[in-house]
Amino acid sequence: MSLLEVSDLHVWFDVPQGHEVHPVQGVSFALDPGDRFGLVGESGCGKTTTILAMMGLLPPNASVSGEVRVDGQNILAGGEDSARGYRWKDIAMVFQGAMNALNPVKTVGWQIAEPMAFHGIAQGAAARRRAGELLEMVGIPAAGAERYPHEFSGGMRQRASIAMALACQPRILLADEPTTALDVMVQAQILDLLTRLSHELGLALVLVTHDLPVVAQTCGRAAVMYAGEIAECGPMETLFHQPRHPYTRLLFAATPDLYGAGEVVSIGGAPPRLDEPVTGCPFRPRCDVVLDRCAEEHPALRLVGPGHEAACHHAERAGAS
Amino acid sequence: MTLPIQDPALAAEGLGVPPRRHGFLRSVLRERKAAVIGLAIIVFFILLSVIAPYISPYSATAQTCPVYAPPSSRHWLGCDDGGIDMLSELMQGGRISLVVGFAATFVAMVIGGGVGILSGYFGRWIDTGLMRVTDYLLVIPDLVFAVVIADLWGPSLFHVIIVIGILEWTSTARIIRAQVMSLKERAYVKRAQAIGSSPARVITRHILPQVGPLLMANTVLTIALVIYLETALAFLGLEDPTVTTWGTILEHAFERTAISSGAWWAIVPDGFVIAIVIVGCFLLGQAIEDALNPRLKVAHLSVRRWRIRPLAGRGPGAI
Amino acid sequence: MTGSHGVPLLEVENLTTRYPVRRGLTDRATRQPRLWVRAVDGVSFTLARGEMLALVGESGCGKTTTAQTILGMVAPASGTVRLNGTDIAGLPERQMRPLRRQLQMIYQDPYESLDPRFRVETTVGEPMLVHGIGGSQAERRELIVAALERAGLSPAEAFLARYPHELSGGQRQRVAIAASLVLGPDLLLADEPVSMLDVSVRAGVLTLLDRLRRDGRMGILMITHDLSTAAHFADRIAVMYLGRIVEHGPARQVVRHPQHPYTKALLSVVPARDPRVRSAPQLLTGETPNPVDVPTGCRFHPRCPIAVERCSALDPALRVVSSASHEVACLLA
């Protein structure tokens, strides 16, 4: 039994005028302690909504189906009430732009201690001491607990946000674009920190980002999302060297490399609207290896290699190992 | 034309599509009942004022019934101290009150909008100078100042319009200035400057249309304030008593012992009508202001929560 | 490198731009010395027609301020900016206005750089109205269509009546490029032109810029923090740190044979897209210091892994190393 198991997760949003948007369309993956898993995709693919759903942090106009099992228990079974018990204690999140989401009128130490008090883990002086320890763990001197967010640089604020997420000793950490707004040097420091934490604390890390090289260097496995679904999922090396979904291949080809001499491509067209059901494969309009089947039959996520799945008719045709 | 939805969560909250110039008022009316009610009230009274001379049952100046005659089938709202039909008087008074309201508001908005835009766009010493003037006027208590001016210049409708116009532009100026200062930083304004557009061009083409809705909201809210102020000034006897406005009607009633005579019909309908118009302006103005600030949505405080659906029933995935 | 007329398109010499740090009343009363944010602290480079120079660096290095100064939106404290031979540094707006036809800027945020109330036709036509080009409406329309086609929006007629919110990020950026092209500029400043676009559309816009400078003989100054993009599309790279250029040379050269310790460190932390390539990231300690507090001597020495004593005393200038066009500002290079 894995530490974290997401099964067939779907999310819908009710939109004014009676319509519905379907941003997450059947996402499944599993993690063990110490795993670093990347959830990669471009804007609108549903990766952020997926992890928000895993935390149960959805707006009132959302509805969810599927399961998110932590140690076998489905945390979404009872809706918000059940999710709340696991939130921050077992599964915690570092939000996009977290460095700007810190409360400006409270000290950093207070903000780290707050969830501890709320979940009954530590109070008062004990909580403050633990906040100091957490800051040290993320590379900020413990004295920084007395400081306010505006006194920290962007990178330090991001570290503080990570410390805050670790306040209740979760076993699963979801990081939403943790380094997107940071300089490349600071980015390297933060990624190094996350890797170290996952080693030392046995944290299962889900790294959500659009930046392929970041995932390539930080994660062992990844899932590439497109139009709310997982297009391909597998070990990082396999995704780069033997991609089976055209989107994965094209996405890597569209990412320039420092020393690579090959041409950088762009993928024409745009992702499909998420408020209308799609017949056939959602990537078909932009795909370069389209088959006739792709227009009628929606490709399911199937095994194409050891621990490697792809949702593509072409991949199946090429034959699984 | 399909709209690319970048972020479904944003699209779901209606933030994906920015308001367009012509459709803005229409979209506000479509979404908020309060706005419709408010606009209906205002339009009703405007229409009433326009057709008043044609439909008022009696003259609004000549005596047509006994003094303080109670409401009857012939005089629906009774008569006032001069034997003038109340209903006709109210309709006639409405014309003047609304004219004063709109005229004074117009003066205030032109000054306020102008000062706000100049101050916000040019900044530095223009901003400092104009804002000090604004601060000075902002601090003066409206009513007291109006009383003093009306006393000095003599009671007249024109003076009332000018006085109110001079006083009411200040808060608008500050609000518009704040918005212009933030608009100035937006990339498309900087681009317009980088192309070589003159300040006049940048302001009229890029800033004014964005400021328009806010100015609209402010205008409507100011009308309410102005009508109130006009009533107050008239009530204090600072308006020309020969002119019939809603305020002078009240003033006459109080001066001439309507209360002790028990003639509630000389006071209550008038007050009621003033209150209704002010409420109408507030409903419309607030609705427009709220529409301009989509972040006022308080989704996280809502009692509703996200829901669970039964399993979607797609075939079991690869896992 | 000079153009066909013997005069380089853009010549920046010792450019300095600084912002005063606002002092409160107590500071003024106690006569505290005025502090300056030395955003651009002595930058020099040239750009020829048909060339793309990438100005690379982290936030706070001064690359955006350099572009703003060249564009004339900010007045420099000293130095010259010569566009086609004319010094435009600190020129009053009235004299600058007609010269704005020669240089245009593309902004980072495609969602903000177009007025949401203007149709595409209006946005692209606006510069012509400002400068009085294109006599009749029909003539202007032709020029607008030509600019849109050149920017890769085809068929152009289909885009004329659209509003920005009906377009994708990549399309909006192309509209912005078309609006810049319509004046026929010689120099294009691109401030992070693709950093807010999806990865799959970036190459399209960058290739467009690449094509424009080759075919149109325009010069492009690209501001970016993304070294991989710079390495791929630019002819030359200038690496900035705390307001100065610390290394400057042909793109390939700088990336494969970096000479400055900062460049080396920066390149080492750029993640490779191949998971098998395990880079050895050289993490510098701390973060870039505030441009108010520029270290004495070499401004990089507090964080430099190979700094020696004289680095804290001497401020190195750019000097040539290896090939003729590769310069480094380091005492130990």
Q: Is residue B28 part of a domain?
A: yes
**Domain that residue A305 falls in:** 244-321
Low-confidence ranges of chain A (pLDDT < 50): 320-321
Strands A204-209 and A172-176: parallel
Output the pLDDT for position B232: 85
pLDDT in tens, C95-113: 999 999 999 999 999 989 9
pTM to 2 decimal places: 0.87
d(CA A74, CA A76): 6
d(CA C203, CA A253): 10
């999310």: which residue's tokens? A11
Alpha helices, DSSP H, located in chain B: 8-12, 23-31, 33-55, 86-122, 124-139, 142-153, 157-183, 187-195, 199-202, 208-235, 246-255, 268-292
First to last CA, chain C: 24
| A41 close to A102: Cβ distance less than 8 angstroms | no
Output the pLDDT for position B318: 30
Measure the CA dihedral A38/A42/A43/A47, to 10°. Answer: -30
Q: Which residues pair with A10 in a beta bridge?
A: A25, A65
C-beta neighbour count of C155 within 10 angstroms: 10
d(CA B72, CA B84): 14
Q: Is residue B12 part of a domain?
A: no
The closest of C194, C198, C201 to C222, measured between CA atoms, is C194
Is C100 close to B192, i.e. CB distance below 8 A? no
Q: Is residue B32 part of a domain?
A: yes
Output the pLDDT for position B32: 80
Q: Is residue A318 part of a domain?
A: yes
């406005």: which residue's tokens? B245
Average pLDDT in chain B: 80
Q: Which of A151, A257, A263, A265 to mutate to test the interface with C (most CBs of C within 10 A)?
A: A257
Q: Is residue A301 part of a domain?
A: yes
| A174 close to A94: Cβ distance less than 8 angstroms | yes
- Helix H or strand E segment including C159: helix C156-160
CA distances from A165 to A144, A190, B188, C65, C253 (A): 17, 14, 38, 36, 43
Mean pLDDT of B81-97: 84
Backbone angles phi, psi at C59, to 5 degrees: -70, 140
The token pair at A61 is: 């106009």
Q: Is residue B2 part of a domain?
A: no
Q: B73 in contact with A at a CB cutoff of 8 Å?
A: no
Tell me which range, A173-177, A268-272, B61-65, C316-320, is most confidently predicted by mean pLDDT.
A173-177
């149109």: which residue's tokens? C216
Backbone angles phi, psi at B93, to 5 degrees: -60, -35
The SS3 of residue A257 is: coil
Which of C201, C205, C266 is opposite residue A184, by nearest beta carbon?
Answer: C266
Which of A14, A65, A79 is opposite residue B305, by nearest beta carbon?
Answer: A79
Q: Given a contact as 3+ CB pairs under 8 Å, which chains touch C?
A: A, B
Whether the pLDDT of residue C2 is over 70: the answer is no
d(CA C313, CA C242): 17
Q: Is residue B305 part of a domain?
A: no
pLDDT in tens, A81-96: 888 888 898 999 998 8
Structurally, chain A folds into a number of domains equal to 1
The SS3 of residue C80 is: strand
CATH number of the domain to which B72 belongs: 1.10.3720.10
Is B20 close to C98, i.e. CB distance below 8 A? no
Whether the pLDDT of residue B84 is over 90: the answer is no
Q: Is residue A239 part of a domain?
A: no
**Higher pLDDT among residues B248 and A215, named by residue:** A215
Indicate the length of chain C as a whole number: 333
Q: Which residues pair with C250 in a beta bridge?
A: C236
The SS3 of residue A68 is: strand
* Closest chain C residue to the Cα of B16, Cα to Cα: C165
The token pair at B235 is: 């009530």
C-beta neighbour count of A146 within 10 angstroms: 13
- Residues 6 or more apart whose Cβ sits within 8 Å of residue C17: C39, C40, C62, C65, C66, C68, C69, C74, C75, C76, C77
Q: Which residues pair with A20 in a beta bridge?
A: A14
Whether the pLDDT of residue B19 is over 50: the answer is no
CB-CB neighbors (< 8 A) of A275 in chain B: 5, 11
Q: Is residue B319 part of a domain?
A: no
Structurally, chain B folds into a number of domains equal to 1
pLDDT in tens, B251-293: 888 888 777 878 888 888 888 999 999 999 999 988 888 887 7
Backbone angles phi, psi at A12, to 5 degrees: -125, 150
**Domain that residue B198 falls in:** 20-295
- Residues 6 or more apart whose Cβ sits within 8 Å of residue C177: C106, C151, C205, C208, C209, C212
The token pair at B180 is: 């212009």
Output the pLDDT for position B301: 61
Output the pLDDT for position B311: 64
